Structure 1
Amino acid sequence: MPSKPAPPPAPTPDRDNPLFNQSLEKGLEVLRAFNGVHRTLTLSELAALTGMNKSSAQRTIHTLEALGYVDKHPQTRRFRLTPRVMEIGYNYLAADALIPVASPYLSQLAAASGETANLTEPVGLDMVYVAQLMTAKHMPVLTPVGMRIPMYCTSSGRAYLSTLPDEQVMAMLAQSTRAARTPATLTDPDAIFERVAACRRLGYACNEEELFIGDMGLAAPVVNSQGVTVGAVHVSPPARRWSMAEAQKKLAPLVMECAWAISRSIAH
């Protein structure tokens, strides 16, 4: 079992606290309702997705529209996010000290591997892309900065989980939906745990077409000076260009070296 301390768990809303602002919570829920599936939404759809009544949803969306975070199509009356929403995400990226430290090493990894190099950070049961150094080679799946991917079926998620105590890993797997994203997705907690344990032995984690068909992943954890894992480095070699055995032989050492270099840099 790893001796490194575990990071703090994801916060649980304390709605009974008199300082908790439910109006702000509703506003954030409305913003999160928009995604790649729900690019535009009617008022009724927003109410249904957020669990609000129509009156509450109307007040919330009106406020967000007045502040410039959403707008409404004059003919269809459907709401959509505006670019102003990106300010919030950009402010996080600008304030994240890990990203500028990691960027030159990600650039070296992309150049050495010929594949796009990525840095992800944990958020709840997911990993979020926070930096990406792309190459000119075709990528079968678009994974932009800001995209969330589940830990249970991704190399970066398993690399992160590999640094946590067994009990915490199993608890997080139990909380995960563990949906079969592809025919290759592992959904049994014990089977996933075996892949997590393998990462502890090898120093890197793998994912072979478990999240997207034709897309693989190799990742290694990034650890800060307190021994807490703060993220993971990964590459996603397409199955059309790589076999998993070849990727493990040629790319895994590069990924581990990159993660080690970033970890060493943030430890000083």
Structure 2
Amino acid sequence: MSSYEPIAALLRGLEVLKVLNEGGPQAIGDLYRVTGIAKPTLVRIVETLQHAGYVNAGNADRRYAVTPRVLSLANGYEEQRWLLEVTGPLLDELRSLAGWPVELGVFDTDAMVILNTSRQPGYLSVNRKPGSRVPLFKTALGRAYLGALPEQESDALMAKLAVRPEDEFEAARSPRNFRRLLEVIREQGYSTADRETLTNGRAIAVAIVVNDRPVASVNLVAHASAMSMDELEDTWGPKIVLLGQRIEDALRNS
């Protein structure tokens, strides 16, 4: 437990920066609808972020956006940099072969965070950028990560998140059912999600495990109209498993 009460103004500023980073250019009215922060306070926040160089001045429509300077906030995260450097070429290789988006995500507290995604989504746009947070229990990325955790740790995480009221944590409130799903994932070596967070997308994913610990997950997302879940598993299941093994070998040897 921290020694002091958190600084409310700083928390609001970080929330606005997060919303702009994930949602793209937005006007004050847009930020108000998402955050609920009073508009005069939002103006002071974006002008402060602008002064610090993290937000631009807005265009003619006064839509504010993050600047490239936000990238410097991640410079100290060596593990993420290491993952991106090692996995990038292998992810691009599968993207070229499949023609579908391929994503790399890492666990953060209560969600998976996208580190790398297709630069050109093509036929299927999943509208997820690096830094986007996606649900832990409803996505193939999250399920693959949970399936690679020791059972005691996945149980503890479910118990911790079961008290959260949001719909995305509903599975944590039915741990027996979710444990059965994790058993299936461990047995088959990959996880799936069928239009649960992407209304037009099906996904298949594997965990990246190094030294017996999951460090990330990688998925492939296909348009639901292009193939059934059975076709996705039959066609891309072996390839995503192989990709996971190649990434693990590359990480161990890097």
**Normalised TM-score (structure 2):** 0.78
- What is the aligned partner in structure 2 of residue 256 from structure 1? 241
Residue number in structure 2 paired with 1:174? 162
User: How big is each residue's C-alpha offset from its partner over 1:176-213, in whole Å with a ceiling of 9 and x where there is no partner?
Assistant: 55527xxxx97863434432221111110010000021
Q: Of 175, 191, 196, which aligns to 1:210?
A: 196
CA distance in structure 2 between the aligned counterparts of 1:195 and 1:162, rounded to whole angstroms: 9
- Structure 1: distance between partners of 2:24 and 2:96: 34
Structure 1 position 252, deviation (Å):
1.0
**Cα separation, 1, equivalents of 2:18 and 2:243:** 33
Conserved? CA contact 2:190–2:204, under 8 Å: yes
Residues 54-133 of structure 1 mapped to structure 2, 5 A cutoff: 60-71=45-56, 80-88=64-72, 91=75, 96-133=81-118
Q: Quote the residue 1:194 is aligned against.
A: 180
Deviation at 1:107, TM superposition (A): 2.3
**In structure 2, do the counterparts of structure 1 residues 188 and 73 end up closer, same or farther at CA, with 3 Å as the change threshold?**
same
- Unmatched segments (≥5 aa) in structure 1: 1-11
* Separation in structure 2 between the aligned mates of residue 108 and residue 53 of structure 1, nearest angstrom: 46
Aligned residues of 2:24 and 2:65 also touching (Cα < 8 A): no
Where does residue 27 of structure 2 map in the other structure?
A: 40
SS at match of 1:106: helix
Q: Deviations over 1:11-65 (max 9, x none)?
A: x7x2528xx776654532332243539822269939x635x8967x665444323
Q: Does the 8 Å contact 2:101/2:220 carry over to 1?
A: yes
* 1:82 shift after superposition: 3.4
Instruction: Go from structure 1 to structure 2 and tell me whether the alpha carbon gap of 1:223 and 1:176 turns closer, same or farther (over 3 Å shift).
Output: farther
Instruction: Determine if contact 2:94/2:102 at 8 Å carries over to the other structure.
Output: yes
Which deviations, in whole Å up to 9, do the C-alpha atoms of 1:81-124 show, x marking residues without a partner?
33245433664688610112112221232234332221111122
Aligned AA (1:141)? V
Mark the runs of 5 or more structure 2 residues left unpaired by the alignment: none
Describe the shift of the 1:66–1:108 C-alpha distance in structure 2 as closer, same or farther (beyond 3 A): closer
Which residue type is aligned with residue 267 of structure 1? R
Instruction: Spell out the pairing of 1:131-150 with structure 2 (5 A cutoff).
Output: 131-133=116-118, 137-150=122-135
Structure 1 pair 204/44, CA: closer, same or farther in 2 (3 Å)? closer
C-alpha RMSD over aligned residues: 3.7
The CA distance in 1 between the partners of 2:44 and 2:119, in whole Å, is: 41
SS state at 1:241 partner: coil
Percent of counterpart pairs with the same letter?
Answer: 22
Calculate the TM-score normalised by the size of structure 1: 0.75
How many Å separate the matches in 2 of 1:219 and 1:261? 14
Q: 2:71 is aligned with what amino acid?
A: E
Choose between structure 1 and 2: higher helix proportion: 2
Call closer, same or farther: CA 1:139–1:73 in 2, change over 3 Å: closer
**Structure 2 contact 17–66 (Cα < 8 Å) conserved:** no
Give the partner amino acid of 2:65. L
3-state SS of 1:267 partner: helix
Which 10-residue stretch deviates more, 85-94 or 199-208? 85-94
Q: Which moved more, 1:114-123 or 1:32-41?
A: 32-41
**Letter of the structure 1 residue corresponding to residue 202 of structure 2:** M
What one-letter code is carried by the residue in structure 1 that aligns with 2:82?
A: A
Aligned pairs, number: 247
